[in-house]
């Protein structure tokens, strides 16, 4: 949800380092932002709005000149420690006062937080009764006051932070600084937090891109752990202060992978990265001569049934995966993760697969925990090595898409589909797999062919001022229809819905008019294509413009106003190819409507609250 960063050892570059880190974390929240620098004195600056608003306020005045900031002192010191935050509001609107960092009564302590403190009202009442004054609507503000109280009892700073955090219930990744103390303190429970280690400086952040430019060495913190960094080193402890031995991991992707590489938006860049992402996903996993798929990272899996839990785009990938599992004779069902716990189906030798790009989505983690609690084996299909889902599940299968910054999931959806496809091939091991495997091999170049020659922009130009947009498809194209609509609505802010093609006539057809384009995904020339063409005719009879996404195998073109072509392929790869065309239409429509494509309003990349 929110993005947090802390650093020590960057000397005069500390503020720039924080601002750079926040720019890499802005995908996690962008309704307000703030920074604090601490040495003998503590200086804080916070602003509602995007990071640019904070940046301008910093360039117009030095941090220490701010009206809301300085405790004492007359300037930045040589080597301050610092923390920074970019917010996605949960408690209180995005205002200057609600922006982080939050301070205690004395102005000595500053805290940033990602997550939700569930018992904050109780703590706030208690602290207010003791005379503490609050200036925001946030749950976070109780934390600096708790630290203040602990410091007042004579505790050392590190102990005071641990003591304050031990009072919290809920989800948090927290960083705190205290005037006169050359350290950043951090704690984690149910919200992501990683520690970065370079030769001269140390970092804490919600996600690796925040400090990837400075180091590829990271430590993943676990729930219940505390970390301390200063310019000389780092330490991780448990709640009692006992040192916890942690392993240091090396990040394999390049810092450049988190830049825009000349594209106007991350989303467009990430759409164009799909051929490479798919190659990475397939690499070393497919034995074409032997006609088999080998996923060496997985232990033995022999489930009687499979349940998927996921949210949003990942749920659409899960719907696709469930169909593939059923096609190899394993009963499978996809659940929206936030609904899973309300009616968990019976679990008996079940495999529960959490599909989650970030590996940090609270709804999905909660469903996976419920499944584990009931005795199921769990598997995380995720993009983020070391993410909570990857660490908590019995098994992890990585989609290898590389970092995705745009809030709208694009390349990770493609990589999720292919990873789930590989998983079913790995479990199936049948002779018939050879054609499917050949289809997978051709997939990256087929996606490239679409990217090199698409009329998606013309379609967007023609229809971007319509009343609403509908997306239909059957079988494996149903999840693509849902995903096409989700992408369209989240970045264009236009009304868009996806339906199973056959369902249109059972209600939604009432909405169809000459001003509601219908995108129909029709590939192959089999029974499903024939039936979807029947649904297209129903739409056409209501004068709605039809845009067929097709490989040309059927005669759907006869009934369509426009065609978005995809190369001939296998049914399971056709779904992915059709989705690429729909991603491009959404992107161009949103660009024509001048929407903030990479940071759609009200949304965040990683949703770490339930």
Active site residues: 2, 605
Nearer residue to ligand AGP within complex by CB, 437 or 607: 607
- What tokens does 588 get? 């161009």
Total number of residues binding ligand AGP (CB under 6 A)? 15
From 500, 471, 419, 425, select the one nearest 578 (Cα to Cα).
471
CB-based burial of residue 471 (10 Å sphere; 0-12 exposed, 13-18 middle, 19+ buried)? Answer: buried
Look at residues 471, 467, 508 and name the one whose alpha carbon lies nearest to residue 488: 471
Residue 313 sits in the site that holds ligand AGP (CB under 6 A): yes
CB of 372 vs ligand AGP, minimal distance in Å:
17
Alpha carbon 360 to chain centroid, angstroms: 7
CA distance 281 to 335: 25
Asked if 138 interacts with ligand AGP (CB under 6 A), we say no
- Give the separation between CA 348 and CA 352, rounded to whole angstroms: 11
Name the residue nearer to ligand AGP (CB basis): 48 or 171: 171
CA distance 416 to 375: 25
Helix pair angle (456-463, 571-592), 10° resolution:
50
Stretch that binds ligand AGP, among 83-91, 159-167, 358-366, 448-456 (CB under 6 A): 358-366
Residue 525 CA to its chain's centroid (Å):
37
**37 contributes a contact to ligand AGP by CB under 6 A:** no
Q: Is 319 in the site for ligand AGP (CB under 6 A)?
A: no
Apex 484 CA angle, 379 and 264, nearest 5: 95
Confirm or reject binding of residue 271 to ligand AGP (CB under 6 A).
Answer: no
If the CB atoms of residues 149 and 364 are measured against ligand AGP, the closer one turns out to be 364
Compare residues 491 and 504 and give the one whose CB is closer to ligand AGP. Answer: 491
**Which pairs count as long-range contacts for 366-375, CB under 8 Å and 24+ apart, including other chains?**
366/337, 366/338, 366/341, 366/610, 367/309, 367/335, 367/337, 367/338, 367/340, 367/341, 368/309, 368/392, 368/393, 370/340, 370/341, 370/344, 371/307, 371/309, 371/340, 371/344, 371/347, 374/344, 374/347, 375/347
**44 touches ligand AGP (CB under 6 A):** no
Burial of 594 (0-12, 13-18, 19+ CB in 10 A): exposed
Q: Does 408 bind ligand AGP (CB under 6 A)?
A: yes
Q: Is 361 in the site for ligand AGP (CB under 6 A)?
A: yes
Binding mask 591-610 for ligand AGP (x = CB under 6 A): ---------------xx---
d(CA 345, CA 371) in angstroms, rounded, equals 10
Measured CA angle at 518 (ends 513, 523), to 5 deg: 150
Would you give the DSSP letter of residue 210?
A: G
Distance of closest approach, residue 479 Cβ to ligand AGP, in angstroms: 12
Q: Which stretch binds ligand AGP (CB under 6 A): 40-48, 128-136, 165-173, 306-314?
A: 306-314
* Residue count (the chain): 610
User: Shortest Cβ distance from residue 132 to ligand AGP (Å)?
Assistant: 36
- Conformational region of residue 231, where left means phi above 0, alpha means psi within -120 to 50, and beta covers everything else: alpha
409 binding ligand AGP? (CB under 6 A) = yes
| Using rule CB under 6 A, residue 583 touches ligand AGP | no
Residue 364 touching ligand AGP (CB under 6 A): yes
Identify which of residues 251 and 607 has a Cβ nearer to ligand AGP in the complex.
607
Q: Which one of the spans 52-60, 311-319, 328-336, 563-571 is the region binding ligand AGP (CB under 6 A)? A: 311-319
**Interface residue with ligand AGP, options 311, 422, 468, 472 (CB under 6 A):** 311
**142 Cβ partners below 8 Å, 6+ apart?**
117, 120, 123, 124, 127
Question: Cα separation of 596 and 156, whole Å?
Answer: 46
Residues paired with 472 in a beta bridge: 499, 520
Nearer to ligand AGP, 323 or 361 (CB): 361
Among 314, 338, 466, 554, binds ligand AGP (CB under 6 A): 314
Closest approach of ligand AGP to the CB of residue 473, in Å: 18
Query: Minimum distance from CB of 410 to ligand AGP (Å)?
Result: 8
Residue 358 interacting with ligand AGP (CB under 6 A): yes
Q: Which two tokens stand for residue 469?
A: 């947009």
Q: With contacts defined by CB under 6 A, name the span among 42-50, 276-284, 286-294, 350-358 that binds ligand AGP.
A: 350-358
Q: Which residue has the CB atom at the shortest distance from ligand AGP?
A: 312
Which string of x and - marks every residue 165-204 that binds ligand AGP (by CB under 6 A)? ----------------------------------------
Per-residue contact flags (x/-) with ligand AGP for residues 490 to 529, judged by CB under 6 A:
x---------------------------------------
Q: Which residues bind ligand AGP (CB under 6 A)?
A: 311-314, 356-358, 361, 364, 407-409, 490, 606-607
């Amino acid at each position: 949800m929110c993005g947090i960063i802390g650093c020590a050892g960057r000397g005069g570059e500390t503020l720039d380092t924080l601002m750079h880190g926040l720019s890499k974390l802005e995908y996690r929240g962008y309704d307000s932002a703030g920074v604090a620098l601490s040495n003998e004195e503590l200086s804080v600056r916070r602003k509602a709005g995007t990071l640019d608003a904070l940046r301008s306020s910093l360039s117009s005045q030095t941090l220490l000149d701010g009206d809301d900031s300085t405790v004492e002192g007359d300037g930045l010191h040589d080597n301050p420690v610092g923390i920074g935050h970019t917010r996605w509001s949960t408690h209180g609107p995005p205002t200057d006062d609600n922006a982080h960092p939050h301070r205690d009564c004395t102005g000595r302590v500053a805290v940033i937080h990602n997550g939700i403190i569930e018992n904050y009202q109780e703590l706030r009442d208690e602290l207010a009764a003791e005379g503490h004054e609050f200036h925001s609507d946030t749950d976070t503000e109780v934390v600096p006051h708790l630290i203040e109280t602990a410091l007042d009892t004579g505790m050392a700073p590190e102990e005071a932070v641990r003591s304050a955090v031990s009072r919290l219930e809920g989800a948090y990744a927290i960083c705190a600084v205290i005037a006169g103390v050359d350290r950043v303190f951090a704690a984690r429970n149910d919200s992501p937090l990683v520690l970065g280690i370079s030769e001269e400086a140390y970092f804490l952040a919600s996600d690796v891109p925040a400090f990837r430019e400075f180091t590829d060495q990271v430590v993943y913190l676990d729930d219940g752990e505390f970390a301390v960094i200063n310019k000389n080193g780092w330490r991780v402890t448990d709640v009692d202060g006992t040192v916890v031995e942690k392993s240091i991991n090396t990040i394999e992707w390049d810092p450049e992978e988190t830049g825009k590489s000349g594209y106007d938006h991350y989303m467009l860049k990430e759409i164009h990265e799909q051929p490479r992402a798919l190659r990475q996903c397939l690499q070393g996993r497919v034995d074409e001569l032997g006609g088999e798929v080998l996923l060496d990272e997985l232990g033995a899996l022999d489930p009687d049934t499979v349940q998927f839990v996921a949210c949003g785009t990942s749920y659409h990938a899960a719907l696709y995966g469930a169909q593939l599992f059923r096609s190899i004779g394993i009963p499978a069902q996809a659940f929206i993760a936030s609904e899973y716990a309300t009616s968990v189906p019976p679990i008996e030798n079940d495999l529960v697969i959490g599909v989650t790009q970030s590996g940090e989505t609270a709804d999905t983690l909660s469903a996976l925990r419920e499944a584990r609690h009931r005795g199921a084996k769990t598997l995380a299909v995720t993009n983020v090595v070391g993410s909570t889902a990857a660490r908590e599940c019995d098994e992890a299968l990585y989609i290898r898409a590389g970092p995705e910054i745009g809030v709208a999931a694009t390349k990770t959806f493609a990589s999720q589909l292919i990873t789930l496809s590989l998983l079913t091939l790995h479990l199936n091991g049948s002779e018939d797999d050879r054609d499917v495997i050949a289809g997978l091999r051709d997939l990256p170049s087929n996606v490239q062919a679409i990217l090199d020659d698409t009329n998606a922009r013309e379609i967007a130009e023609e229809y971007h001022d319509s009343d609403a947009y509908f997306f239909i498809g059957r079988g494996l194209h149903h999840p693509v229809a849902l995903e096409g609509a989700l992408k369209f609505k989240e970045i264009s802010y236009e009304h868009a819905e996806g339906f199973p093609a056959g369902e249109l006539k059972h209600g939604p057809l009432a909405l169809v008019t000459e001003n509601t384009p219908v995108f129909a995904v029709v590939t192959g020339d089999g029974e499903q294509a024939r039936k979807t063409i029947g649904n297209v005719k129903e739409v056409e009879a209501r004068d709605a413009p039809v845009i067929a996404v097709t490989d040309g195998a059927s005669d759907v073109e006869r009934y369509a106003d426009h065609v978005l072509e995809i190369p001939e392929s296998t049914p399971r790869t056709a779904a992915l190819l059709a989705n690429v065309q729909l991603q491009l239409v959404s992107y161009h429509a949103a660009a024509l409507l001048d929407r903030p494509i990479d940071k759609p309003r009200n949304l965040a990349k990683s949703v770490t609250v339930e």
